[in-house]
Amino acid sequence: MNVENWRLKIRRKHNELNSEDLSPVSLTRYSEFSGVKRKRDTLEIDENMSDNSSDFSKRANFSAITSNGINRNLNILNLKPTTTKKIVIKNLKSEPKLPDDFREQTWGKLQEAVLAIQNSRANEYSLEELYKAVENMCIHNMAHTLYNNLHVLIDNHVRRNIEQFLAESMDRFLFLKKMNETWQAHCRQMIMIRNIFLCLDRTYVLHNAQIASIWDMGLELFRQYIMANTLVQTRIVEGLLMLIEKERQGDTVDRTLLKSLLRMLTDLQIYEKAFEEKFLVATERLYAAEGQRLMQELDVPDYLAHVDKRLIEENERVYHYLDANTKPRLIHTVEKQLLTDHVTNILQKGLDGLLEENRLNDLSLLYSLFGRVKNGHTELCTAFNLYIKKRGRTIVIDPEKDKTMVQELLDFKDAMDNIVATCFNKNEKFSNSLKEAFENFINQRTNKPAELIAKFVDSKLRAGNKEATEEELERLLDKIMVLFRFIHGKDVFEAFYKKDLAKRLLVGKSASVDAEKSMLSKLKQECGGGFTSKLEGMFKDMELSKDINVAFKQHLSNTSQELSAIDMTVNILTMGYWPNYPLMNVVLPEEMVKFQEIFSKFYLSKHSGRKLTWQPTLGHCVLRAKFKLGMKELVVSLFQSLVLLLFNSHDELSFDYIKGATNIEDGELRRTLQSLACGRARVLNKIPKGRDVEDNDKFRFNNDFVNKLFRIKINQIQMKETTEEQKATEERVFQDRQYQIDAAIVRIMKMRKTLSHNLLISELYLQLKFPVKPADLKKRIESLIDRDYMERDKDNPNHYNYVA
Amino acid sequence: MKVTIKNWVGVATWKWVANDDNCGICRMPFDGCCPDCKLPGDDCPLVWGQCSHCFHMHCIVKWLQSQQVNQQCPMCRQEWKFNNK
């Protein structure tokens, strides 16, 4: 209806405007520019009309809300604003008065209602009526009395309720149940009562700050009586503790009951005072005992799992029924009793085993649990460090295990890295400690680990080692570099590595030049260019030799000399780079000597001012040998070929003859003969047979030699490295070190001019990167004094002066 | 002939033909190089004077440049002349 009304108005307005031929927008314009009064009038009228219409609609709306049925009629009436009626309000003739017994009567009504609620009886008055009654009393200044009366009523009821618990001595569980029921009922009743007395809450209580609201009054009364009757209070708390303990022992208990009662304590604000303290004490006692007991009974992994379970349980407990504020203290208590007090014990008893067996899950758990404990990670880290040192020492220290040492170290490092990465959260403290521990134990045995690492690398880089692809080899080298980093005596490594590298390069045994180069660049990165300059020089020599050989071949074909068809290649070494080789003069066959001469002449013509020295120990040949069953190619060392060539003119030769004819050093010759006559491929027969070569032995060319291969490599029998060669290498390293010590002493003394013995020694230890004994240092100082680099102070023999 | 050599890989080391172990100027061994170089070899050669003394080339050149008046051998004080034998 009122919408229709609106439309009517608008249409009328439009008609008016259209008659002036103006759109609403241009209308305003028009009035602005020309200021015609008439237009303005229409506008005003318009506004009036719209005001009216909104008035109508308002009224219409209101009537629509109250009663839908009659709005049509009402609107019709309202549509006639012309007939105005005047309403005059006059004072009442007599003031209205309350009935005399209003107070008693109303209260009586309310009291009855409250009692009915408290006793769960049906209420005979409607709630609205009661509400009105309260409202009336509030209006007529009776709020104070009303509040007091209500207070007395609730007081009585609560007291009766609580007192019933005093008398009865029932089962604890029942007691709690009953208590809970009482509390729930109390809450329910108080809500009901508050709703009825809402008016009182909203007016009287709100205006008097010191008076508690009805709900709070109820709580306060409840609290008073519980507090007053300590027996009840303690019974509640004890009952709760009993339930919780039961649950801790694995029984299922009524969690809702617990939650409800604990909420009650919180609401009554006695949770902390009455319950929390005792609860924490009980918790502490329980877990202290449990911690002691289980540490004895269980293995560490089981114990840890148990602790973890306990912590989860306690967290759940907080989540389900305890007050959230208890959580930090509760968890702390559990941690303290189960973990903090047992940290050392756990580490001592279990850590080694866990690491040994690589139990990643348990270790992760251990790490996360120890994270809760103050200093837990530090302790764990220390124990971890100790374990690595102990375990590593067993790998390194035992000479029997030398063969597998490097592989074991690599595996051990891998395992430990894995543990740090997966279990210890990649904690930097742990990885640093890991490094420190490795560095510590690897250097417990001087020189040997460095030597073995060098040999391990050699074995991997040598040709014929097909077990790894390029990438695998690369990764392996990286891992070895990690071990290498820990080693203090890097010069020992260099010496052995150089020796092996020389062998690989000269015999052409190197598996791949790329791998060699990559190893070299790794070493360079690690120790700087000084460390690798000699090694690089070796590679350079090999490359230069290649060029020289090409040129030499050209030279041979140009000069076209009468020579037998020996394909000769020569590796030219720069003395300083390569290991020192013992000089040997052996007798070569004529044709070989000729070749050597030609080559020397050729070389010196290219490089003047040089001298060439031939190294027979390093040469090797491929021989073509004719046996009864066909031709074979023998890959042999130069010494082996010299011996074999002798048999061209004789069938049988004695040891002495061979020795005289070749001039090979005795021990070397014995090994050579052994390799030819007693090895796997026996091209010579020894008479009499036997493993070792004796002075009176005779040798005979084995015409019946059989082998399924065409090309046969006859290995040299290696000198026992453990004895001479190794000693020599170490000796060389020691020599090098002496120069370094000398240099360091002079450097320091030059700077300080005067220094006491002890200070000098300590400075030396800071500068020198390899392990030295103080006695060695003393020797070097003595030697420098002898050579007048420094002198003892005349007054104080413990002081040294630098001599410029 | 039962055995013939098919190919032969020989090894030889080279050394400078010098009348001393160390360079008289830098005191470094002739097997090594002068202090300014990193690698011995053709990049850091030796030279001989007519007085028969021998130095790293870099060393003696540096020495001769530092001499204002006479070009003398630092060992024997004779006039320095390169021996281009």
Question: Which DSSP string do the residues of A112-175 spell out, in sequence order?
Answer: HHHHHHHTTPPPSS-HHHHHHHHHHHHHTT-HHHHHHHHHHHHHHHHHHHHHHHHH----HHHH
Tell me which chain A residue has its CA closest to the CA of residue B12: A614
CB contact, 8 Å: B84 with chain A? Answer: no
CB contact, 8 Å: B32 with chain A? Answer: yes
In the CATH hierarchy, which fold is given to the domain comprising A352-399+409-444? 5 helical Cullin repeat like (1.20.1310)
CB contact, 8 Å: A599 with chain B? Answer: yes
> Given an 8 Å threshold on Cβ–Cβ distance, is B12 in contact with A615?
yes
> Given an 8 Å threshold on Cβ–Cβ distance, is A574 in contact with B10?
no
Q: Is A102-228's fold the same as A352-399+409-444's?
A: yes
B-facing residues of A in 675-714 (CB < 8 A) are 701
What pLDDT score does A80 carry? 54
Residues in chain A: 804
Interface test with B, best of A575, A592, A603, A650 (most B CBs within 10 A): A575
What pLDDT score does A385 carry? 92
Cβ proximity of A205 and A213 under 8 Å: yes
The span from the CA of A769 to the CA of A269, in Å, is 70
Distance in Å, alpha carbon of A578 to nearest chain B alpha carbon = 9
Written as six digits, the tokens of A556 are 């041979």
Query: Is the domain A724-802 a CATH 1.10.3720.10 member?
Result: no
Report helix, strand or coil for A87. coil
Please give the torsion angle defined by the CA atoms of residues A28, A29, A33 and A36, in that order, rounded to the nearest 10 degrees: -40
> Given an 8 Å threshold on Cβ–Cβ distance, is A647 in contact with B10?
no
What pLDDT score does A60 carry? 45
Beta bridge partners of A652: A700
> Which string of b and e fits A448-471 if b means at least 16 CB within 10 Å?
bbbbbbbbbbbebbeeeeeeeeee
ipTM field: 0.83
> Given an 8 Å threshold on Cβ–Cβ distance, is B16 in contact with A609?
yes
Could you check whether the bond before residue B45 is cis, i.e. omega within 30 degrees of 0? no
The span from the CA of A236 to the CA of A226, in Å, is 10
In the CATH hierarchy, which fold is given to the domain comprising A102-228? 5 helical Cullin repeat like (1.20.1310)
Beta bridge partners of A632: A625
Cβ proximity of A216 and A209 under 8 Å: no
The span from the CA of A366 to the CA of A301, in Å, is 8
Query: Is the domain B16-85 a CATH 3.90.1150.10 member?
Result: no
- Chain A residues with CB-CB distance to B11 below 8 A: 506, 570-571, 573, 614-615, 618-619
If chain A, 804 residues long, is cut into consecutive pieces of 10 residues, what is the mean pLDDT of each piece?
55 52 44 44 44 45 46 50 77 74 82 84 83 85 84 87 74 83 88 86 82 86 82 84 86 85 84 85 89 87 89 88 85 86 85 87 88 87 91 87 87 91 90 91 84 88 72 87 87 86 83 85 86 86 89 83 76 84 84 88 84 87 87 88 88 88 86 85 84 85 85 74 69 83 90 89 85 85 88 87 84
Distance in Å, alpha carbon of B65 to nearest chain A alpha carbon = 24
> Given an 8 Å threshold on Cβ–Cβ distance, is A645 in contact with B14?
no
- Chain A residues with CB-CB distance to B15 below 8 A: 575, 610-611, 613
Residue B3 pLDDT class (50, 70, 90 cuts): confident
The span from the CA of A691 to the CA of A693, in Å, is 7
- Chain A residues with CB-CB distance to B49 below 8 A: none
The span from the CA of A601 to the CA of A555, in Å, is 11
> Given an 8 Å threshold on Cβ–Cβ distance, is A619 in contact with B9?
yes
> Given an 8 Å threshold on Cβ–Cβ distance, is A566 in contact with B8?
yes
Per-domain boundaries in chain A: 2-78, 102-228, 352-399+409-444, 542-606, 619-713, 724-802
The span from the CA of A702 to the CA of A686, in Å, is 9
The CATH class for the domain spanning A619-713 reads alpha beta
DSSP, residue by residue, B57-85: HHHHHHHHHH-SS--B-TTT-SBP-B---
The span from the CA of A363 to the CA of A381, in Å, is 12
Q: Which of A348, A345, A337, A343 is nearest to A371 (CA)?
A: A343
